[in-house]
Amino acid sequence: MLDSGPTVEIHPIRDIRTRDDHGQPIPVSVNHFPHRQCNYACKFCFHTALSSNKLKLEKAQGGLRLLKAAGMQRLNISGGEPFLHPEFLGKLFRYAKVELDVDTGVICNGSKVTDQWLDTYGQYPNWMGVSCDSFNEDTNELIGRRDGSKRHGEHWRRVQRIAEYCHARTPPLKFKMNTVVNRYNVEEDMNSALEVLKPQRWKVFQVLLLEGENTGPGALRNADDLVISNEEFQGFLKRHKAHNPVAEDNDAMENSYLLLDEEMRFLNCQGGKKIPGRSIFEVGVHAVLAGAGWEPETFEDRGGIYDFGGQEPPRSLPEALVF
């Protein structure tokens, strides 16, 4: 087993590289799933509750130290629903920001974000992201994006509340929205809602099938009927072009994300599956990167490196890195 890492040196963002001098990949941006649990049941989910495992906070922090020492500069947390473990999430953000000087963000469904969490930990993320696939409650019902609440417009109110909080902070907390375009929402017009929410970054994904997660034997979800054509996806993008969607079709998503699971294992998504490698605690970050199926050039081509202008919490470390 490896030690959780030495003291980390801070590297300025202007020197960001996705490969080192020997051509080996550098994990500049890591998407971490601390656990697989969720209170929603979205039919297209590609990271389902196949286990209930979650590392203890101290070990998770040790994993972040290893990743930082290997070159990580941005940590994106999603799930499962990250806010099912709010204190764990908040302390992980605080550690990543204050101790490691890593830019951080979260993607959640909005249902478990509380004022208390925002007051305690809202200073640490650079951005707050919410998954929102529809502003029509019937469509959300079909997708599975609800937690049993029967209140009309509940998801819309949750998303709007988080957006308002982000915009009202001084300095503002960047607000991001993720949308998965699928059979149920491909014809929806979201322009009016987007005018109200004003996301600084709107990621729009074409629904993606991954064997063992949302299609095939043993999968907990079945998204086969939600698949859309490339032409339909382009039609959705054209309808919303005024809001500058950051579009990712199936080709753009494949091999362009570094996905890290609840055991700190990179997930290889080549061939339409998610195959975990060995844990970074066992053999180190660079050793497992070789089998992660991540292509830095594809990551760059999809716009993975961008200037996000993160906020600055109080800290004793040098000025924050800016994406």
The 10s digit of each residue's pLDDT in 227-258 is: 999 999 999 999 999 999 999 887 767 777 89
At which residue do the structure tokens 């991954």 appear?
Answer: 210
pLDDT value of residue 321: 24
How many other C-beta atoms can be found within 10 angstroms of the C-beta atom of residue 98? 16
Task: Pull the structure tokens for residue 36.
Answer: 């697989």
Give residue 313's pLDDT band: very low, low, confident or very high (50, 70, 90). Answer: very low
Task: Pull the structure tokens for residue 286.
Answer: 């660079």
Cβ distance 172 to 127 under 8 Å?
no
* Among 17-31, 164-178, 195-209, 291-305, the least confident range: 291-305
Task: Pull the structure tokens for residue 183.
Answer: 């059979």
Closest CA to 236 of 177, 193, 191: 191
* CATH of region 25-301, choose from 3.20.20.70, 3.30.530.20, 3.30.420.130, 3.40.50.300: 3.20.20.70
Residue 265, SS3 per DSSP: strand
CA within 13 Å, CB half, 21: 0
Task: Pull the structure tokens for residue 91.
Answer: 């302390």
Sign of CA dihedral 253, 259, 262, 268: positive
Task: Pull the structure tokens for residue 94.
Answer: 């605080």
Catalytic residue numbers, as ranges = 38, 42, 45
Query: What are 103-157's pLDDT values in tens digits?
Result: 999 999 999 999 999 999 999 999 999 999 999 999 999 998 877 655 667 889 9
Query: How wide is the angle at C-alpha 50 spanned by C-alphas 29 and 82, nearest 5°?
Result: 45
**Domain chopping of the chain, boundaries:** 25-301
pLDDT value of residue 51: 64
Q: How far apart are CA 102 and CA 125, in angstroms?
A: 10
pLDDT value of residue 148: 63
Tell me the one-letter amino acid at 113.
V
> pTM for this structure?
0.83
Query: How wide is the angle at C-alpha 19 spanned by C-alphas 16 and 21, nearest 5°?
Result: 100
